[in-house]
Structure formats: C-alpha cells, structure tokens
Chain A
C-alpha cells in the first residue's frame, strides 16, 4: 500500500476494499512464547524438587514417543482406507466397463465414474466446508504459521484432525489430483498438540497428566515434533522431518529438542512401517517406511552421467523450471484470489469441488480401456493413470526406457499440470506434494526420452520431480534430504541438491513459493527470517502502536472490565505502570482468570482463608480462556481493587524509541515475543510493538511498502 494512500484512508471513513494479498487480518493473534516470570511461577519453581525436573524430562520423551506412534498409526489408517476405497471404486467401474464395452455404452461408464468421484469428493468437501474450514488444503501453511508464532484459530483441535483425516481419504479416493502426504504433517501437529496437553477440551476429558506443558512455549516444541513425525511418516524420511521442523521453526531451537524430535520421527516411520507390513501380511518385512515409496534406485554409472553432463542437463532442466514452476504458482495465486473473493460460501465451495472431481484424472484414466485401443491392448500411459498417483510416480521412475510415448506423455503432463494447479486450494483436505512430483516426473521422463543420449529416462524423471516440487514449495535443505531419503540412495544427493538449488533461484526470481502465497492470501501476520532489507531508517517510534492502554499496579476492577470489554480495541497485553514508569506486563488471559476467581483486594481481606491462586488455575483455563462477556462482575465488585503485582510479568522486554526496525524484528523473532514495550529515557511507556506492527512492512516493487489491517 502506498503511504500516501494510507494517509487518505486515515482521514476518510472506514472503507471497504476487495480482498487482496496486502492485508493483515485481525483474527490472527500471536502465541505467548515468552514465559511470564511472575511470583507464582517463581514459587512453583521453588517448590519443585530435583526429581520433579527429572520427571518432566522423562515425560517429554514419553510424549514424543506417543506422538510418533499415533502419527504413524494415523498414516497407516489413511493408507489402508484410501487403498480399500479406491479399490472398491475401481472394481465397480471396471465391472461396468467390461459389461458395456462390447455393447457400446462407454459414456454410461464414464458418467458412473464421474458420479462416484463426485460423491466421494462431496463427502470430503462437505465435512471440510461446513464443519471445519481450518482443515482445508494441505495444512502446511497453517503449521508454518503456528511454528512462526501465529495462533491460527482452531488449527490444532481434535475436530480438525478428524475432519482432516476423513477429508483426505475422501478426496484421494475421489480421484482428485492430490496427495495424502501434506495433510500428514498437519495431522502430526494436531496429535502433538493434543497428546502433550494430557486432555481434550473438545471431548471435555482431562487425564490430569502433563499439566506442566499447558503453555504455548511447551506446546510449540511438541507441535514441531509432531510436524516432523508427520513428514517422516509421509515420506519415510525421519531426518528430513527433523530438518523440516528446523527450517520452518528455526528461530526457536535447541539441541535436546532436536534429539527428541528425531526420536518422534523415528518412532513414527517405524510404526507406519510395522503396521503396514502386518497389513500386507509380511510382518517383519518392513519395506514401506513412508506413505510414498520411490522404489529402489541403484547407484550406477548413470549418476555420474547426470553429473558429468552438466551443460545440457542443468540448462534444460532450469529452462523447464523457468517455465513451469512460476506458472504453477502464479496461476494458483490468481485462482486462490478468485476463490477468496467470489467462492466464499460453503455450499459454493462444495459445488466447486464436486465439479472438479469428475474432471480429475478420470479423463485420462479411461484411456486404458479399449476405447482408443485395439482389443486386449493397453498402453503404458493407461497403466500409469489407472493407478494411484504414488504408483504412477514410481512407474515413471522405474519403467524401462521405451515404455512411454513422448506425445501422450507430454499431453498427460500438460493436463495434469493444470488439473493439479486447479485442484490445490479447493475446499478439501489434500496435499500438493504428490501431484507436483508426478508432473515433475512426467516431464523429467519426457526430457530424458527426448535427450535419449544417456538412456536412463527414469533418472531424469527423478530429477524432474525434485525440480518441480522444489520449484513449487521452495523448501531447500529439508526437501533435499526428504528426496534423498525417499530415494534411499545418498549418491543422488548432489544432483538433487543442484536441481533444487536451480529451481529455487529461478523460482524466487518470479514469484514466492506456493505456501508463502497462501499464507499471504490468508492475511496472516507472518514474520519472515529477517526484516525487509531497506528498513534500518525506521525506528520503533514509527513502528509502534500508541497510545498504550496501561494499568496501575493496583487497579480498579471496573476499569479493567471496561478495557477488556471494549471490542474496538482488542488488546491482549497491558503494561503495568507505577506511577508512570513501567513495572510489568499483564496479559488479557491472566486478567480474565483473575476476574473469574475474583482475586480482589477487598475480598482477600475479608476472607482470610481464601485459597491462594496458583499457576495451575491459569493452566486449567489454557488454551481457551473464556471471553470477557461470560464473566459476571457485579456493581459492587466493580468498585473493588485488584493487585496485579503477583501475577504480572515483572520484567518485560523493552526497547528505547530509537531502536531500528531490524533490531526490533530480530528481538521479536529470536525470542518469540508477543509484546515489546517501547519506553522513553525515564522508563515511561510510549508505545507497544506487536507482531502486526512488524509484519506489515514488506519490500515491494516501489521500495518499502506497508500492509493494512483488515477485519476478516
């Protein structure tokens, strides 16, 4: 947004604009990663014995093991359910086709196929659109935001998990051009958030365990473990999972946590492997570590050929990246924008998904039938499409040279490309990993066939898949490791890395990664790795919000209730001053708990035996603190006073007014702050920096630009 435009709108009345990417939504809040070191906390710490701390450490490990186990189990369930449902569908259609082939009613079979697909997708879309919109898409953008420190409403709830799992099963079985891998990451994260709390608020069941971990800080650690476990179950890539968490949540990290996360990942892939091998009646075989399996790649001389032929290989690969990847992201960007603006009603969303479903790969999947072939002949294309996308990827990698006809393959690549682009962003839960792998594998194979000098088109398919995936999602380190682990051959590390590097450089030149695009379009206040490059001249004074609503250390209850009830200023953190200098910071959630328990000075005097409020009371209310409206405060009580000394964070982070934006940014991101108080030379509060104040700056075409806040 142009600054001058901003000035205009400030003067005018609140105005409405169409949704665009340069907005920040008010509905997203920050997570409280910063530990409030108030007196209650200190007291609890003093009471806790050495053994208590040891137990905490052990229970962390137990939780990580549980996370891995449950995530692996969920992956296993999804896999089995999809396989069986799709099997039933294929069987019904095949029967029908066989019956009608000779009579000549193929159009009827086609309609049957379309109806079946639509029905599956409808179920998936209905549960997502009407019950839990948060479960739409792959869930990776949401988890990225969560690890970044944004509280996405309802993203780690049990209901979301259930809807997600069912939705994935329906959409994959419904034949959409989607994969079941991306949603695994979200599922893992939800499992982690649930298990680590030792209770379920949705089911209203409290197991009275792991109460210590009912805090945003602890929960975030477990969620990153869950995301890692999800990746590891999806791709059979435990190290890749750990690196994924590292890459996405890199600002908060320590070694012990990494080690625990690795444990969760390992357990997850092993669990999946174990149960799948039992399901396949080969116990002890342990041959399916992930939902997708690239098959065995032998390291032979062709790897050297791939490397030693850098000129044609890399140049051509990058030209294809140049064309395909940005196109995918740009198309999807416009489509998503259109969807947000016009297709926002749940019933419309369901309809859209249902309309895409029959157009899905079924157009190509009918080819194997004798429709366009002589009797008894099936072309290899057909076998590629009559399969699940995972298997198609594998056959593109491994089928011997000469199995594919270049013309049909290119036709397929093109169709699938647009289909996948169209499908991502529908209101169904589905991932983009497998479709992009498939597109990439197809054009890589095509490229290998056309090159034909080194007769290893399968290897080119692998490189193409890596390039396409890397170009779309723009992950670097973690994706390389994931691909190498899924390939099961370290020798391919270097070519894959080079290809991913090229894809990212080329892609970044044009447009951001798909996940970042979606994060932006959701108007999430996402803090990137660093502040915009040309922002050193901006100081905290310009960035901060002011004036700040402050409380006195002993404040009247009425004032507090009024401030909290004011809907126009939905503040969350309040500096506590005495008399003007800052002496602490108190959060809305804490105040609400205090009001609920009526911790008033007068009451404490009259009732000497009143139980002292403990940290446990705050934890019990976490994470869904009741809204202020639900707390009744009588007229008499409004005249009471409240002593905040015990409960506020006595040492909030502060910065002087002259601090530059990058400095503030670094502090914010490295410490995971939610509020940063700006003070003057006499320690008086002059402003408050929050996440949205920082996230609104970004580097646009015309230099530093500002995003606007909007109600969504």
Chain B
C-alpha cells in the first residue's frame, strides 16, 4: 500500500531542482527507503512523549527554517491538528543538535567565502571552515547517533524541499567550481606543497614590484624580469599538471595585468613588423599565382558538337518570332 502511495507522490519530486533522470531515480529509491524505514521505526521504537514539544521549540529557535518541516507522511495517520507530532515522527534530540552545529558552521563558511571573494582567496582562506562543514554533514548523513538513531532520514529526506541537502550541495558546487581540491589536501587540512611554493614565488615577485614601484618603471622591468619569468614558468608547469585552483589563477592574472598594463613591461612589439611582412607575403602569393595562371595558362576551350536533329527545323528559327 505504501508502495502505491510512493508512486503517487512522484510529481513532488519532479518539481525539485534535480532534473536529471538519474538523480530522480536515486531520489525515488531513497524515498521508498525512507518510507519503509519510518514505518519500521514506528513499529519498533515507542518514543518518549515527554519532551517532544520542547524539542520542537528548540529546533525552531536554533534553525528558523526548520519550521517548514512537514513530514510528508502526515496523511497516512489519522491525526488531530496537534501542535506537535507524536514522538515517533519527531526529530530526535541528537539530530537537532547536529542541525544546530551544521547551521553555525554553514554561516561561518559562507562568511569566509564572502570576505574572500575579491581578490579570490576562497581556497586558501576557507578550506578549514569547509572541512568542518563537510565533517558535520558527513555526521548527519552517515553516522549513527546514540540509540542507533540515524539523522539522515529525519533531517535530509523527510520532505520534498530537502533543505539541508540543498544548502550543502550549493556550497559543494562552489567548491567544485573553484577547483580548490587541486590546491588543498582536505585530508590533512592544509594547502598542498605546490600551492605553498607558488605563493612563495608570487610573494617574491610582488615584493620586487613593491621595491621598484616608486622609481622608473623601466628599472622595475629589468630588475623583476627574472622573478616574473620564473613565476610564469611555474604557472605554466602547474597548468600542465592540473594543479591550478581559482586562487592561483586569479593571483596570476592580477600579476600579469600589473606587469603588462600597469608597469607596461610586456616585451616590445617590434616583431609585429616581421609578422605583418610574412602575412602580407603569404597574401601576395595567391595574387601572383592567379595572375600568372591567367596570363600563361592557355584557356580551356570546349569543342562544340552538333547533334543530329530532324532535317528541317522550322520551329528553331521561329523561337524568336514566337517569343517576340
């Protein structure tokens, strides 16, 4: 019976952000799992009534959004309009705590992201907070709490909005897009050696810039050229090894702009002359070719053949008359 209902609820899921079929299927299976497990909980664990409403208030206080929790199975039970649900449908104490921690860490990470937005330092500044967030989310989704309570179902999958999951996946997307994984080894909570080395080289260049910035820029150009070139080479090496994250890309971009726009140190454009010369020579060749083939190659002539026609063709002569 519950299986049938499950399929009836499908439209809810199609409204979700996850539009890929695969994800939909996964969600569907999870949904059925969730249903059966909730029913199982219902039958096996008679929960404790005493603190249900209190906990609920706590949850509301800590995570204001959670007031939208609507257990989707409400209709299965003939309930009165109670302000609190029976204990077996409520979120356990443990989970509410987890949720509160998740909220704190979430906001810390977002704050960090915003402050590191420009110039981009989201990887080097925020990998710690991201690691924390990831940890708590893992706790919610994987681990079993005391009394064998899993918060995964109650927090992540009880409604069609799946807010916690949604919030987390948004941040995960940002993390993936910035490719911070290439600069940070999350397992050790540290930046990779490559990144550190790059930062060091970058700092050398920047300090060199600072040193000569006051005086003539041409002096800067000559003095800092070595470090700048070293930085460039390092960057292209890292590009080949795929160890670039957004922080490095951005700082390199800024340095390059500084170098070529602000200090005007880009190599001189003298070579545009030979380039243009070569190009125009290549443009010139076809013209010569066509001219010479027009002048020297003999024109292709066609021999006309006169097919046999009926001897007297009065109408041929008349074509013109008939038309004019």
- Cβ-defined contact, B299 with A710, below 8 A: no
Q: Given the complex, which residues of A lie within 8 Å of B302, measured CB to CB?
A: 16-19, 23, 710-712
Chain B: minimal CB distance from A284 (Å):
12
Q: B169 within 8 Å of A by Cβ?
A: no
The B258-303 residues at the A interface (CB cut-off 8 A) are: 259-261, 266-268, 270-272, 274-275, 277-279, 282-283, 285-286, 289-290, 293-294, 297, 299-303
Q: Given the complex, which residues of A lie within 8 Å of B253, measured CB to CB?
A: 376
Q: How far is the CA of A106 from the CA of B269 in the complex (A)?
A: 11
Given contacts A107-B277, A376-B252, contact A371 B272 (CB under 8 A): yes
Given contacts A542-B310, A545-B307, contact A104 B270 (CB under 8 A): yes
- Cβ-defined contact, B293 with A375, below 8 A: no
Chain B: minimal CB distance from A290 (Å):
22
Given contacts A374-B260, A542-B315, A709-B304, contact A355 B286 (CB under 8 A): yes
Among A65-73, A342-350, A429-437, the one that faces the other chain is A342-350
Q: Report A9-53 CB contacts with B as 1/0, cut-off 8 Å.
A: 110001111110001001000000000000000000000000000
- Cβ-defined contact, B299 with A107, below 8 A: no
Q: Given the complex, which residues of B lie within 8 Å of A356, measured CB to CB?
A: 286
Candidate in A338, A340, A358 with the most chain B CB atoms within 10 angstroms? A358
Q: Given the complex, which residues of A lie within 8 Å of B301, measured CB to CB?
A: 16-19
Among B82-90, B196-204, B316-324, the one that faces the other chain is B316-324
Cβ contact of B267, chosen from A10, A23, A104, cutoff 8 A: A104
Chain A: minimal CB distance from B288 (Å):
9
Given contacts A7-B317, A342-B299, A375-B260, contact A102 B304 (CB under 8 A): no
Chain B: minimal CB distance from A21 (Å):
12
Q: B257 within 8 Å of A by Cβ?
A: yes
A678's nearest neighbour on chain B, judged by CB, is: B310
Q: Given the complex, which residues of A lie within 8 Å of B266, measured CB to CB?
A: 370, 374-375
- Cβ-defined contact, A107 with B271, below 8 A: yes
> Number of contact residues on B: which range applies?
35 or more
- Cβ-defined contact, A359 with B300, below 8 A: no
The A672-712 residues at the B interface (CB cut-off 8 A) are: 686-687, 692-693, 702-704, 708-712
Candidate in A342, A352, A537, A709 with the most chain B CB atoms within 10 angstroms? A342
24 cross-chain CB contacts under 8 A: A9-B306, A16-B303, A18-B302, A98-B236, A102-B229, A104-B271, A106-B271, A107-B271, A338-B290, A342-B297, A343-B297, A352-B286, A358-B282, A359-B286, A370-B266, A374-B256, A374-B266, A377-B256, A538-B315, A686-B310, A692-B307, A710-B302, A710-B303, A711-B303
Q: How far is the CA of A276 from the CA of B307 in the complex (A)?
A: 54
Cβ contact of B289, chosen from A9, A351, A366, A710, cutoff 8 A: A351
- Cβ-defined contact, B304 with A710, below 8 A: yes
Majority secondary structure, A binding face: mixed
- Cβ-defined contact, B270 with A15, below 8 A: no
Cβ contact of A355, chosen from B289, B306, B307, B313, cutoff 8 A: B289
- Cβ-defined contact, B305 with A709, below 8 A: yes
B260's nearest neighbour on chain A, judged by CB, is: A374
Q: How far is the CA of A708 from the CA of B293 in the complex (A)?
A: 27
Q: How far is the CA of A3 from the CA of B236 in the complex (A)?
A: 73
Q: A154 within 8 Å of B by Cβ?
A: no
Q: B309 within 8 Å of A by Cβ?
A: yes
Q: B308 within 8 Å of A by Cβ?
A: yes
Q: Given the complex, which residues of B lie within 8 Å of A348, measured CB to CB?
A: 293, 297
- Cβ-defined contact, A547 with B316, below 8 A: no
Supplied contacts A101-B267, A374-B261, A375-B266, 15 more A-B pairs, CB within 8 Å: A3-B316, A3-B320, A14-B303, A18-B299, A104-B268, A106-B275, A107-B274, A371-B272, A375-B257, A545-B309, A704-B323, A708-B304, A709-B305, A711-B302, A712-B302
Q: Given the complex, which residues of B lie within 8 Å of A342, measured CB to CB?
A: 293-294, 297, 299-300
- Cβ-defined contact, B279 with A110, below 8 A: yes
Candidate in A341, A352, A359, A545 with the most chain B CB atoms within 10 angstroms? A341
The A247-270 residues at the B interface (CB cut-off 8 A) are: none
Q: A363 within 8 Å of B by Cβ?
A: yes
- Cβ-defined contact, B297 with A709, below 8 A: no
Q: How far is the CA of A541 from the CA of B309 in the complex (A)?
A: 9
Given contacts A16-B303, A352-B289, contact A371 B256 (CB under 8 A): no
Q: How far is the CA of A23 from the CA of B256 in the complex (A)?
A: 63
Q: A629 within 8 Å of B by Cβ?
A: no
Q: How far is the CA of A347 from the CA of B213 in the complex (A)?
A: 61
Q: A546 within 8 Å of B by Cβ?
A: yes
